[in-house]
Amino acid sequence: MHLLAGPEGQGWGKDPDRGLLLAALELLAERGYRGATTKEIARRAGVNEVTLFRRFGSKEALLRAALSHFIPVGFLERLPAEEAPLEEGLRQLLEAYLDLLKAHQALLPKLLAELLRHPGLRGAGPPEGILGVLERAVGFFRAQQRRGLLRSDEPPEEMALAFVGPLMARFLLGEALGVYLPLDQEAYLRGYLEGRYGAGREGQSGLR
Amino acid sequence: MHLLAGPEGQGWGKDPDRGLLLAALELLAERGYRGATTKEIARRAGVNEVTLFRRFGSKEALLRAALSHFIPVGFLERLPAEEAPLEEGLRQLLEAYLDLLKAHQALLPKLLAELLRHPGLRGAGPPEGILGVLERAVGFFRAQQRRGLLRSDEPPEEMALAFVGPLMARFLLGEALGVYLPLDQEAYLRGYLEGRYGAGREGQSGLR
DNA sequence: TTGCGCTGTAAGTATGCACTTACTTGCAGG
DNA sequence: CCTGCAAGTAAGTGCATACTTACAGCGCAA
């Protein structure tokens, strides 16, 4: 998986720009806002430091631009199609998410941290980044609802949050506190669909 | 709600220490690791900068100590008792969590960001901080399982994550991306307990 | 060839910061 | 009063870093 949409799509083409954006993203992820020095970004992009300032004006502007174009390329394609059968779709979603975490284990927590720290970083840019991915996921749940496979008395965003939320919480627990919980994927799917009421209900499961 | 356990409990009593820890925590939250300068921390604590170094050795050590003692005082008491009836307990948990977010709206995302950014900050210290709170919450779910009110084929940590996870995801969505989703508390509880299978099941709900 | 736009090179500026050193002051206990 | 420890004061060191300035080279179009 790469990190930037493109390579020539979005109109911010040109070579040195792209190299700088990519290098900025990598370094931001590796070392944080402070640690991503302009000198090092330029070096990694194979470009002179002065060029960085000439093209983006400031470090802040460069990083903002980089974040607004960030998207794990290839992730979108792994999301389930809206017409996918419910359980198969959920499994795909779960696996895509876990693979994403594995592939960008180092980057994601740092990127998240920077987003939390510098609210200014999130503006500016097409919503085709992370928000686009979220939209796609929500679309899947909406379609499943329309087909009557999921309860219809909750907004699809809620359905999506209920599925992804515990995974994100796990992620945070690990990255922020160093506490790692094992994950049983089948049990996770079962728990999501069947709820938490009552004693163990083996055999009643719609899953295998 | 305050920020540090104490005031004289844990053995790290003394006045200047406590003032420094508190100031460090506040500034860390307000301005991040980099922005929390030793000079400013000392000033806010009403103490000379040199004293900071004499007592903690380095900025890093001070911040680590501060984080390890951090706990939103008063939050613990709001968590449901293990014997609380299931739905009432869940409601308490939900409200305590929402109140916590409201009370520390500015601090929490910054603290989280710093934890993600500086993994070194999390070590060292008694688990009476945030982890203690988590333990308490998990204890509630475990007790409910033992009483047969929750399914028993999932570890209680899983039950807790399934409840808190979507809330945390909401929180992140808001803080990191600026996307805020409304929350219907009753629907949330229902969704948690009953799962997502099937069309709308009004009337079947165990909740009013 | 001339001129223009873009990039590179070299050097430098200004600033902020963690951390240190050397000395003084205040206070508590014997 | 004397001693000793903890805190304050003042000044400074060394370093990293964002950003600037001045100048030179290169390719391309008219």
State how far the Cα of A163 lies from the Cα of A147, in Å rounded to an integer: 18
What is the CATH number for A38?
A: 1.10.357.10
Q: Which residues of A touch B197 (CB under 8 A)?
A: 149-151, 193-195, 206
Give residues 48-77 of chain B lying near strand C (Cβ < 7 A).
49-50, 53, 58-60
State how far the Cα of B173 lies from the Cα of B109, in Å rounded to an integer: 11
- Cβ distance A166 to B165 less than 8 Å, yes or no, reads yes
Closest by CA to B52, choosing from B93, B20, B98, is B20
Based on the fold, state whether residues B163 and B103 are members of the same structural domain.
yes
Q: Return mean pLDDT, chain B.
A: 84
Mean pLDDT computed over A10-37 = 80
CB < 7 A from strand D, the residues are A 34-39, 49-50, 53, 58-60; B 14, 16, 46-48, 50-51, 54-55
Q: How far is B162 from chain A (nearest CA, A)?
A: 5
Instruction: Provide the angle, in degrees to the nearest 10, between the axes of the packed helices B49-56 and B15-35.
Output: 100
Mean pLDDT computed over A15-23 = 85
Based on the fold, state whether residues B63 and B156 are members of the same structural domain.
no
Label the pairing between strands A2-4 and A70-73. Answer: antiparallel
Closest by CA to A60, choosing from A8, A114, A104, A130, is A114
Share of chain B above pLDDT 70, in %: 84
Closest by CA to A137, choosing from A194, A180, A191, A94, is A94
B3 within a domain of the structure (yes/no): no
- Cβ distance B198 to A170 less than 8 Å, yes or no, reads no
For residue A2, pLDDT over 70 is answered with no
A83 within a domain of the structure (yes/no): yes
Based on the fold, state whether residues B106 and B144 are members of the same structural domain.
yes
Nucleotide nearest to A14 (CA to C1'): C6
Q: Are A183 and A166 in contact (CB under 8 A)?
A: no
Tell me the pLDDT tens digit for each residue of B56-108.
Answer: 999 999 998 888 877 777 788 889 999 999 999 999 999 999 998 898 888 88
| Structural domain range at position B23 | 15-69
The predicted structure's pLDDT at residue A4:
63
The predicted structure's pLDDT at residue A157:
95
State how far the Cα of B174 lies from the Cα of B169, in Å rounded to an integer: 9
Of B32, B177, B199, the CB nearest to A151: B199
Last residue of a domain, one of B54, B69, B84: B69
User: pLDDT higher for A20 or B15?
Assistant: A20
- Cβ distance B196 to A193 less than 8 Å, yes or no, reads yes
Amino acid B74 CA to nucleotide D30 C1' distance, rounded Å: 77
The predicted structure's pLDDT at residue B38:
97
For residue A115, pLDDT over 60 is answered with yes
Test mutation, B151, B194, B204, chain A, max A CBs within 10 A: B151
B112 within a domain of the structure (yes/no): yes
- Number of domains composing chain A: 1
Single-letter residue type at B196: R
Q: Which residues of A touch B187 (CB under 8 A)?
A: 153-154, 158
Tell me the pLDDT tens digit for each residue of A64-112.
Answer: 888 877 777 778 888 999 999 999 999 999 999 999 989 888 888 988 8
